[in-house]
Amino acid sequence: MKRMSLVAVSALLAMTLSALSGLAVPAYAQSKLHVVATTTQAADAVRVVGGALVELSALMGAGVDPHLYKPTESDIAAMNQAQMVVYSGLHLEGQFDQVFKALSERGITIYALAQPVLDGGYVMDAVGSAGTHDPHFWFDPRNWQLAILGLAEALGKVDPANAAAYKANATAYAEQLDRLFAWATQAMNAIPAAQRTLITSHDAFQYFATAFGWKVEAIQGISTAAEASVADVQAIAAYIIANKIPVIFVESSVPKTTINAVIEAVRAGGSEVRLGLRELYSDAMGAPDEFGGTYIGMFAHNVATIVRSFGVELPAWPDRLMPALPGELLKYPLQLPFSMRGGVGD
């Protein structure tokens, strides 16, 4: 569907809300709590906490970049008919601000998953941008615990009859996140300390790196809206060469052009760098029916990809942590040096 400018969105919002204002509440909203979620992470959170008690409509699909996504006419219609809209927050969905304001004025509950993380003082500033929040808070599972527990409380306020069920679901899932964090910590600590630097396309992994005591260097900033400059590419290439970084990573929701440029710049500097075995999930997860389509699966996929790309074995997957880790993430397929083959997508 064709995307629109913010001016067009504002005009469309006014017309759509006016046209829908007289409609009856949908039948499904009378038996279940109707919730709309913006990002793939937000949708998974609602599935986990709401379960069968919630009728979920997800706006963004697998691989969609929320920094750039603009709400469509059907998105606005869906949110207008919801009882609650759950979004990530910290301006990750920057194109939605006017829509959220208008919907809130109509009595629809608008809830940011980042709010309890912000209230707890765990939100980080973007690198080099004091006062600008880094919106990728979910990459620390301890932050995601806060988000999940906060969502349960918010759902319970809108649907008091099922508040206890939402709380129970969130509490059980928080225990799963404890297991995930313990496993990930053991895995990430297996990399030699001198090599613990994560090189990625854009700066989505500051929370992830901090959680495990790693460094992170990115070609772009926290948003994918601006393209990396030649100077950005050269700076990262020089860092890789100087620090003997063996591997860099590309993300599923970010164009691969800049990563290819870095690889070529490293070659031009007389060195080599490997590409990670798989793409990392950053701003978007996989499809709901895939391992990477759940928060636990997405996070485990990233950890497994990083650790195996460094040639290190993974620790055993916890017995009570679901979904189970696919065997394919344990493998370390043969990779030819980049001097013998092309870059990403060749």
- pLDDT tens string 15-50: 444 444 444 444 444 589 999 999 999 999 999 999
In this prediction, what percent of the chain has a pLDDT beyond 90? 69
Q: How confident is the model at residue 335 (pLDDT cuts 50, 70, 90)?
A: very low
Query: Which range has the worst mean pLDDT, 160-169, 222-231, 261-270?
Result: 222-231
Burial of residue 328, with CB atoms counted within 10 A of its CB: 0-12 exposed, 13-18 middle, 19 or more buried: exposed
**Is residue 237 very low, low, confident or very high in pLDDT (cuts 50, 70, 90)?**
very high
Tell me the average pLDDT across 103-117: 97
d(CA 163, CA 148): 14
Look at residue 93 and tell me whether its pLDDT is greater than 70: yes
Tokens of 316: 């055993």
336 has a pLDDT exceeding 50: no
Q: Kindly indicate whether the domain formed by 6-177 is annotated with CATH number 3.40.50.1980.
A: yes
* Global pTM value: 0.85
How many other C-beta atoms are found inside a 10 Å radius of the C-beta of residue 190? 13
Q: What is the reported pLDDT for 221? A: 52
Could you give the residue ranges of the DSSP H alpha helices within 123-162?
A: 141-158
Q: How sure is the predictor about 219, in pLDDT bands with cuts at 50, 70 and 90?
A: confident
Domain with CATH 3.40.50.1980 in the chain: 6-177, 183-340
Candidate CATH numbers 3.30.750.24, 3.30.70.260, 3.90.470.10, 3.40.50.1980; the one for domain 183-340 = 3.40.50.1980
| Residue 153, helix vs strand vs coil | helix
Mean pLDDT of 312-331: 91
Indicate whether 334 pLDDT > 70: no
Burial (CB count within 10 angstroms: exposed 0-12, middle 13-18, buried 19+), residue 142: middle
Confidence of residue 332 (pLDDT cuts 50, 70, 90): low
Q: What is the DSSP string of 46-76?
A: HHHHHGGGEEEEE-S-TT--TTT----HHHH
The pLDDT value given to residue 4? 41
When the pLDDT of each residue in the chain is averaged and rounded to a whole number, the result is: 86
